[in-house]
Amino acid sequence: MSTHTATLWFTSPRPNPRALLRLFCFPYAGGGAAIYRVWPHSLPSEVEVCVTHLPGRGTRLREQPFTSLDALVEAAAEAIAPLLDKPFALFGHSMGAMISFELARRLREQDRPQPAYLFISGRRAPHLPNHDPITYNLPEVELVRELRRLNGTPREVLEHPELMELMIPLLRADFSVVETYVYRPGVPLDCPLTVFGGLEDSDVSREQLEAWREHITGKFALRMLPGDHFFLNDAQAQPLLLSALARDLHQRIKGQAN
């Protein structure tokens, strides 16, 4: 895969050629690279934050979004390959957590470098049964009602017909990625894993987050933060999340140097 394709998928808001580790960040359904715009200023100077530009949003608005996690991960694995020339970590929230997990497994299948750290946020362990209703094919009125319940789409977007006309196809595609996913059992990953959850998240319980422990042979940590499912956007939770990430990454970098 060419370097051009890599830069189409991944960019650094604050390029840092001297960084000792790259942190690739994947968005939740309907989200884009802007979610992580302030992160480079809150993490250690040894870390270069690389945000993901998925098709169908932002700079790739005219591209068709993926509707299948397998296809998305296959394309992401090829795009990220040129950027694995130094240690790296993966972070993903909700849909992004699924991408991060399956991307780590796909890279292992391809005998490519493995993440030095995996961060999972706001997503139950993949082997647990999914009892959530299918929403990606709901009539638009019902889909918008579900978006209001999830509380992840700004009210000004929900109440703006032209913006919603752009967002609905993307949200249907992303919800399809999540809701058609089928977990395939595999060997646990050999890297540290930190899982983050929201204390007021009504969709993902602490027990469902704890169950991620089965998918790792390295160090495991669970950190619960204030907020609902979108706690990473919460003014109270975000500094705590970034502080925890900074500690984990700094310790990992220090351990690699020794």
Which residues have a catalytic role annotated?
94
Sheet holding 88-93, edge to edge: 10-11, 47-52, 21-26, 88-93, 117-121, 193-198, 220-225
3-state secondary structure of 254: helix
Tokens encoding 23: 């942190």
CA 61 from chain centre, in angstroms, equals 19
Cross-strand partners of 204: none
CA 202 from chain centre, in angstroms, equals 19
Q: Which residue from 122, 134, 160, 110 is spatially nearest to 27, judged by alpha carbons?
A: 122
CB 253 within 8 A of CB 21: yes
Tokens encoding 227: 């907020």
